[in-house]
Structure 1
């Protein structure tokens, strides 16, 4: 399987490459001359940027006659307290655009209820099963994609109530999932937890530990 792994930022891409037996770096839009089984690219922060970057990489590979067979979004994320502790590895059963919809006096209305599409992108079952087998201690649940990261206790409570299966939140998963779906390529999302979702406490963030956990998890991608 030729696999494209996309991350938001270069630090995450470097952590993934460090865990691969055959590391390959590709800038967004670049064409590797001889592609190894796994290609890693930092494709942008936020759902829109990373969707555009992922779509470009997929299109270039297809145009070259060597399409990718799967896409994995990998990176660090915030974990829901009591569901995914700092340092944990999590896999998405679904990547969900949690704030894509409309506000109303009665509360938030998701895109699904508005009739304009879906906010839920399920992971490819076979790809998810492969990752779960390679990462037996990983937590599987829903991973939320948000445009504004949650920074209040009330925000955590609201999201936890709306999404009882959610274990983490990031800013890119749903965007990569939509790009993969448009190209008919299997998709999965893998995250490692750097901090608890909620009031911002930078002193409690464990980004180096989460990147180290991402390196360890990346070994499963190259297996």
Structure 2
């Protein structure tokens, strides 16, 4: 694994995602607190579990980056890692692993009296992919949409995809990228598709399989 330095930070929303990447921490993952860096063994850098959603992810990541700087830890890059849903018709399948190079917030704006939704500008871009580790540069580049309310109907999924020209949906990406931009830390977002962002059907989701595919891609370069 050719990462840019030993002080990289692997950022997760949930304990389950963290434990899937670093199974040696599985027994203690549920007790990880969001305001602490986890120093990984064998000089692999740091990890953190920040919580689900825009507010948790942005606030806790900003705090941790500032705290690391105060402690003399120079974070070389942040890798936002997790699962996502893919919008139908975008050429992306369940279990694909993708690099999210741009994000917008999908439900920040206002609704007019006729029901039309008008989003506020909120686009952010991750660090240019040529600065990513070589094996991550090869991944499919996609546009992400960060939402507070996950898609549950085909109509909403198609509408969001068209409005933002987005490929995938998640709940933290834009927040993480914005926090890193504010702290001037390189950031890359890598996700695996666990489900399609359409009519909600939990039985068809492949959460564990997606996490396994993500770990294999990021940690093993496959």
Normalised by the shorter chain, which TM-score bucket? Answer: 0.7 to 0.9
Q: Residues of 2 paired with 1:211 and 1:109: CA distance? A: 34
Q: Which of these residues, 95, 101, 104, is aligned with residue 96 of structure 1?
A: 104
Q: TM-score, normalised by structure 1?
A: 0.84
Distance in 1 (CA, whole Å) between partners of 2:97 and 2:157 is 20
Kept in 2, the 8 Å contact 1:17–1:218? The answer is: no
Q: Closer, same or farther in 2 for the Cα pair 1:202/1:34, shift >3 Å?
A: closer
Runs of 5+ unmatched residues, structure 2: none
RMSD across aligned positions (CA): 2.4
Higher relative contact order (CA 8 A, sep 6+): 1
Describe how 1:173-184 pairs up with structure 2 within 5 A: 173-184=173-184
Is the partner of 1:144 in helix, strand or coil?
Answer: strand
Aligned pair count reads 207
- 1:110 counterpart = 2:119: yes
Q: CA deviation at 1:131?
A: 4.1
> Aligned equivalents of 2:136 and 2:183: distance in 1?
27
Partner Cα separation in structure 2 for residue 32 and residue 194 of structure 1? 26
User: How far apart in 1 are the matches of 2:38 and 2:191?
Assistant: 25
4+ runs of 1 displaced by more than 6 Å?
none
Q: Please list every run of 5 or more consecutive structure 1 residues that lacks an aligned counterpart in the other structure.
A: 20-24, 113-118
